[in-house]
Amino acid sequence: MVIDVRKCNAERKYTGELHFEFAGDENLIDIPFVSFSSPVHADLRFDILEDDSVSVAGELSFSLKGACSRCLKETENSISYEAEALFVPQGKKAGDEDYTYRNGIVDLDEFLRDTVLFALPSALHCPEGCSAPEYNEE
């Protein structure tokens, strides 16, 4: 998914929304016996700033299914994650956390991959809380 900054500037369209889906990369998942059970939905908004930096913010959401990390029963978790990023034209000063872009095209792939990685939990648990204290044996 890309944002064509030149085209937007030419059309004086300095802000917009992006709604799309993409397949999550299974290689990002570090939990045993867990995989994506839905595409990743992205609801993003972008703003092209006066210095041609592009700010992107919004939410990614997806579902994971697999073995609960506590009881090993099959379960499914829905995850949503708020993210924002700044894309700075190559050659201009960018902060450590910023992405750069060139030739007037913001490529969101690295940002999306990073965001999915941040959003992924370290374990999958039954939504009803299989090992919450009230369910423990006395």
| Binding region for Zn ion (CB under 5 A) | 68, 70-71, 126, 130
> Would you say 18 or 130 has its CB closer to Zn ion?
130
* Smallest gap from residue 67 Cβ to Zn ion (A): 8
* Smallest gap from residue 72 Cβ to Zn ion (A): 7
* Smallest gap from residue 132 Cβ to Zn ion (A): 10
Say how far apart CA 79 and CA 19 lie, in whole Å.
Answer: 17
> Would you say 26 or 128 has its CB closer to Zn ion?
128
> Would you say 44 or 126 has its CB closer to Zn ion?
126
10 Å CB burial of residue 46 (0-12, 13-18, 19+) is: buried
* Sign of the four-CA dihedral 123, 83, 22, 52: negative
User: If you ran DSSP here, which 8-state letter would residue 18 be given?
Assistant: E
Token pair recorded at residue 80:
């949503």
